[in-house]
Every structure is written in structure tokens, then in C-alpha cells.
A and B are shown apart, each in its own frame.
Chain A
Amino acid sequence: MLDVVQPRLWDIDPVQLLGRRLGAEYRPIALRATILVIFGVLAVTHAELIAHDRRPTSVDPTVTGSVATAFLLLLVGTLSTIPVPSSVPKWLLPLGETLAASLVVGALGQSADQYVPYLLIPLTTAGLTAGLGAAFACASVSSLVFVATVTVGPSRPEFNLWLWLSLFAADAGVSGWAKRVLASQRPTAEYDAAYANAHRLLSELNTVARQLSLGLDPHTLAKALVDDIHAIVPGIHTTVLVRSGGARMVPLVGEPPSDLAESVVHDAWVSADLVRRGRNGATVVAMPVLMGERVVAVVALGASSQDQNLGEDSVKACRATIAAAGPRLASALLFDDVRRLATVDERHRLAREIHDGIAQDMASVGYLIDDITATAGDDSVKSRLRGLREHLTGLVDELRLSIFDLRAGVDESVGLARTLGDYVTRVGSQAGLIVHVSTDESPHRLPVATEVELLRIVQEAVTNVRRHAEANNLWLTVVVDPPRAHVVVADDGKGLGVPRPDSIGITGMRERARRIGAVLTVRNRSQGGGVLVEVLLQPVQGATSSSQTVTDPDSVRLVSDSASETALAGRQGGGPS
């Protein structure tokens, strides 16, 4: 590899065009070859033009010498542009090239005079890559060689020694100074390298995310990990926990840990090593999922009695499986985080744009209509204007709610059920609906990404009710019991006329549900008309210890005929109701 810092001179050189086709590593030698050809041809044609005039000598020796020098210099150039390890000092190659080229040009005398400009190349390279000191060192070397060869070597009447010496010095000064200016204009090479690394990682991540059939979804990966562990130790209670918002440990897959497991998980997290502890016949083994030195998650295995085998061999096998899954899970979690932050940013930007743009414009149009209404003489015109005003007020209302939706998020300090309840109450009552909220929330939290998606699904469902249902009542039932959640939005409106499974709203809800591994059902209520939207987050894998149930009397009433729904097939795995 060549030095990362390519001299900027290349960028403004016409050789760049050629260099692009040749590839970056051939650019320096291409530049040298071009210079040699140009000066060689110029010198030969110049010599022919003046040959009849002052020096009636034959042209041939000049041409021969010229070509020979050019080849020698090209050899020097090739040798000094070969890739070297970055441990080689940057000044070494330009200095060597300067010395060799000066010797060639100086020793060959008059026939090589036209190639003296070639020396400016290593000089400039030294200045741009290694700085002022190296450039002056090169300038001194070539000056010494020239002074020596002009004094003791063959005579060269046309050679203007002092002109070239001062040119060398000037070039060294300019290129060294240019390096400083360029360096001050852009971040240091280390910064560049860091960005280059980050960029490479991100593009790899992007490629991987596109190529993986599962994507980079933490849930899917964690579930796959749990499946792998169950293949080694069947029937073991497995929980994959990650850190979410602050210091909270959240189960990504599996049950929230018991008191015993909680302390074991904590110790595994802090020590970044396997922790095993038993109490009253129950054994818990917690293993960190590592990405390098960093703990990204903890896998807790719990055996309730001795018959479940948690022997050394199976733990060792689990450990190997977990070690292999570490980088994948870490990347997925990171990717999830990046995506969520980007989404929040974009939603807020959109909200600001609507707020400051079209919403204000529409409001001002409203005031304009108010003005026209007040001054209109004709009663029929007035009443039509009032109708228009009402319509416009409705539109501004819609925009206000859109802004509200876009800005709404989940809060670290307020539970999801409360957040959903507040949202539905606020928006439902603005739309003139009677809102019934029933929530049941465990102190454990779901992963942030899951909470956000559930909020968005509820937002979409409520928007549909507001816009299309013509309902009187709106019911929200939320049961959160990580890793399970059950959210139902129902209304008593006109129902789903013709089912439109392809409608954008429903598609969006379905995609969101899929992303968090939940099942979405949208259908007409069996009694009383209206639509029912149900999201059931019910881990199929890893939920082996469940004796609890996510259903409560309200949701049972609302989904009484749901047994036939294929969408709810997963529920049977959740234990007796």
C-alpha cells in the first residue's frame, strides 16, 4: 500500500484523468513518465530547430542520450514509487529518488539537461508528504550533486546552475508550506483513518443487513441463539437480557429473571465472565455475550431441579455457541439503536416542518376566511364560508394531531401502558370519542424498540378509528408482562366494510408488528360492530416457565371469538389461562 496521504498535486494534474483509469497506485509513475516524455520531445524538437543555427552537430547523439537518460530516470522513478510498508519513513523514498535522479542527470551532462525539471517531482513529493525539512534536505542533495558535476564533470554551457538551485529551494519551500496549509485545512490523518474505519464498518453493516435474510434484528438473532442452546440443553429456561436506557436489564427473549437469577446476571455482567450459583435445588448459570471485551448481553440458564442437566460439558457447549453469537448480536443491537435514533430524528424534523410550514399557512388561511366571512354581505355566502371554515379547522386539527403523533415517544420514567393510555385518552377525546382504558403493567419493561413500535401501532389504529369508523366508543386494553404484551384497540363504529388488507395503514401496522415478533390481527368485532386491532407479543421460544397469562377479563371479552384466528395460534404455547 502507498501512503494514505496522496499529494494533492495529483488532484489538479491532467495526469489525474489517466491515473483514474490506471488506478491510484500507478499515478506517481504515470506522472513521471509523462513529464519525461514531454521534456524529452520538447528538447529534441528544440534541438532540431536550432541545429542549423548555432550548433551544427548531429542530432543523433542528443536523441540517443536523451532516450537513455529518460529510461534511466524512469527506472529510478519506478523503484522509488514501489509500495512500501508504512513503517518506512516518508522522507526516505523521495530523498533516494532525488539523489539517484540528480546523479543520473548530473553525470550524463549536456544531453540530460532537459530532464532537470524531473527533479522537482521527488522534491515536491518530499514536501507534500514529509514536510519542509525533508524537502530542503532533497533540495540540498540535488544542489550539491549539481554543483559537483558542473564543477568537475563535462562542460555544459547552457546549464544555468543558479537558476535551478534557486528553483529547487523555492519548490521545497512551497511544497513544504502547502503540506502545512493542507494539514491545517483538514482533520489530521488519524481522524481521517477513524472516519475511514467507521465508514468501512457502516458500509459492511449496510451490505450485511441487506444480504441477511433475517436482517440485523436482535430478536430474531436472540431467538436463534436460544434455539441453539435448547438444542444442546433441551427444556432449560433461557433468557437473553440486554441493557436498555440507563442501567435497566431487559429480557430480549425469555422470562424476566427470578431474584436469584437477577443477582447472577448482574455479577456476570460486571465480571464479564460465567457465573454459576445454586439455591434450594435451583441452579442458574449466567454467561456474558461478548463483543471483544465489552458485554453486550447476558444469557441466563435456569434449571429448577436436578433432573435438568447443566453439567460442565453442556455449559461448555453453550458457551461456545454464545461466543459465536456475540458479534452478530452486538451488531444487531447497535444497528437497532442507530435506526431508532435516526427515526426519532426524522420524525421530529417532519413534525417541525409541518408545524412551521403547511400548518401555519393553513391557519392563516383560516384567519383570512374569518375576515371575508365577517365582511361578506350575503347570508348564503356567509353560511358557505362558515362551512369552508369548519372544513379548514378540521384540516388544521388533523395537522395538529399529526404533529402530536410524530413527536410522541416512550418515556424512560413512564410505563408503556400509561403512555398508551394517555395518548388514546388525549386523541380520542379530541375526536369526540368516549375512551375506555384498561391497563395492567408489570414493573418490568419491554425493550425500548418494542415499546416504540407498540406505540406507533396504537397511533395508527386510533387514527383509523378517528378518520373512518364514525364510532362513539374507543376501548384500549394494555397488558404488559415482559416479554409478553397484549394490546387491543377496539371501536363500535361501522366496521371494516370491505376488508382492505392492503391498505397502507394496516400494512404499516403489520410491518411494525413483524419487526418486534408480534402478531397483528385486524378484524370486525363479533358483537356490537366496529373494528378490533389486536397486537399479541408472545414469545414462542424461550417461554417455557410461564405459568402466568397475558389475558385479562377485558381482553377476553373483546377477543372472545379469537380462538379460530390463526393469528393467535401462538397463544397456546403461553400456558393455561
Chain B
Amino acid sequence: MTGAVDHIKVLLVDDHQLIREGLRRAFDRAGDVEVIGEAGTISEAMDALERLAPDVLVTDVRLPDGDGIALAERARRETPELGIVVLTMYAGDDKLFAALDAGASAFVGKNAPAEEVVAAARHAAASPRAFAAKDLGDAMQRRMNAPAGPKLSPREKEVLQLLVDGLAISQIARRLYISESTAKTHVANIYEKLGAGNRAQAVMAAVRLGLVEGREP
């Protein structure tokens, strides 16, 4: 971090001016945070990041010229110690996990009170590499509760079953009305998901995980 240690310098990125204004007021009230810049687009944000060197970047997910999560990822690559708070109006878990993968420090829904955004910015400044999200526990649980084991698509399951049945790739392709190269792609994906290096290992793994049924000859 550079500059004053007592003030957290924040760059606000959102294309809605009223949102930026509301958040700026909240940061002003906090006392220990200072909004040093605002941006409405990704390009403005990249420019401001370089020019102003903030401690924390607060960005929306949907911006007119691109994806806020991509911005977070880029900013993280360029400034490993930057605090990043991702704001979103989207409700799905996928954005939360995308923000986590992008290296964000915190993830806050736009339904949450402004104080939560301020708290997230403080957290981001203090420990930029530790991901915090109110919904993280629930989302993790939902992800855990999803069917256990490798997630094969229904198509991959079909291909796997045929592999276990001993069909050659060309036969599989014919049976499923797909091209041979598509069948090969499916097989490669199955090997990867099952951690197998060849057909025998894939069949072993499939049987062990109960992914296939024995078929009468």
C-alpha cells in the first residue's frame, strides 16, 4: 500500500451515477475511507487504477463495455495486493464463484445496506487475498449438495456406458449420431473428469463410483 495509512483509498466503478453517489456518501460517513475516484466503464477504470493507485477497487459486475469480474481478474493480476470488492445485482451463485475465482476480496449484493459495502472495503484493504461474502457458506453448501462425484453430463454418461460396454469410438459415434471427433472429445473429457489415463482406468473408476450399470450381454 502507498500513501496515507489511516485512510483507505477507494476507486468506485459503476455505470449508475446514483449508485456511485450513494456509496460515496456511505464511504464519506465511515471516516477512515476516502473515495479518490469514480469510473463508469472498464476502460475508465483501468485508466484510473493506473493513475490513482487506489487501495480498494469497488466494481459492479455488469458494465457498459464489459464484465466487472474480468476487470477484477485483470486488476488482481497487475496489482496482487489490491483490495477488490465485487458488487452485483445478479442472484445466481455463479457470479459469486466467478468473483472468487477472479481473486476478488469480497462479494456484496446490491440489496445489502451501504454499511456492508463499507465493511467489505475495509476487509478488502486489510486482507485482499481472503474472500468474504455473506452468502458464501450457503453457496458452498449448495455446491456440496449437488450430486457427488465427477459431474458427467448426460451425454458423457451415455458415452461412458458405451465405453464400458466395450464399443470402439467409431461405434460410439455411430450409435449416438455424433461425429467421431465429437465422440473423441467426450471420451477425453470423461478421462479427465475421472482422472483416468486410458479406457481400462476409466472403466475401473466408473464402476467404482457407480456411474454405470452392468448390462446383460
Contacts and interface: CB of A to CB of B under 8 A. Distances in A.
B114 A269 contact: no
Interface of B: 16, 18-19, 21-23, 25-26, 29, 62, 89-93, 109-115, 138, 142, 145-147, 153-155, 157-158, 161, 174-179, 182
Given A248-B155, A366-B113, A400-B90, 11 more contacts: A248-B177, A262-B175, A355-B90, A356-B62, A359-B89, A360-B18, A367-B25, A370-B26, A399-B89, A400-B109, A403-B91
B213 to A, nearest CB: 11
B175 A374 contact: no
A136 B3 CA distance: 81
Interface stretch (A281-289, A413-421, A512-520, A547-555): A413-421
B112 A393 contact: yes
A473 to B, nearest CB: 15
Contacts of A172: none
Given A360-B16, A429-B142, A443 B157 contact: yes
Contacts of A336: none
B19 A422 contact: no
B91 A400 contact: yes
A371 interface: yes
A118 B87 CA distance: 74
Interface string A158-193: 000000000000000000000000000000000000
A523 interface: no
Contacts of A429: 138, 142
A430 B154 CA distance: 28
A246 B110 CA distance: 38
If over half of A's interface residues share one DSSP class (helix, strand or loop), that class is named, otherwise mixed; here it is helix
A370 B179 CA distance: 59
Interface residues of A, number: 48
A401 interface: yes
Given A355-B62, A360-B16, A445-B154, A403 B90 contact: yes
A374 B114 CA distance: 11
9 contacts: A247-B182, A263-B174, A356-B62, A359-B89, A364-B22, A368-B22, A393-B113, A397-B91, A426-B92
Nearest to B145: A425
B196 to A, nearest CB: 20
A361 interface: yes
Contacts of A266: 174-175, 177
B90 A404 contact: yes
A422 to B, nearest CB: 7
A418 B148 CA distance: 12
Contacts of B23: 367
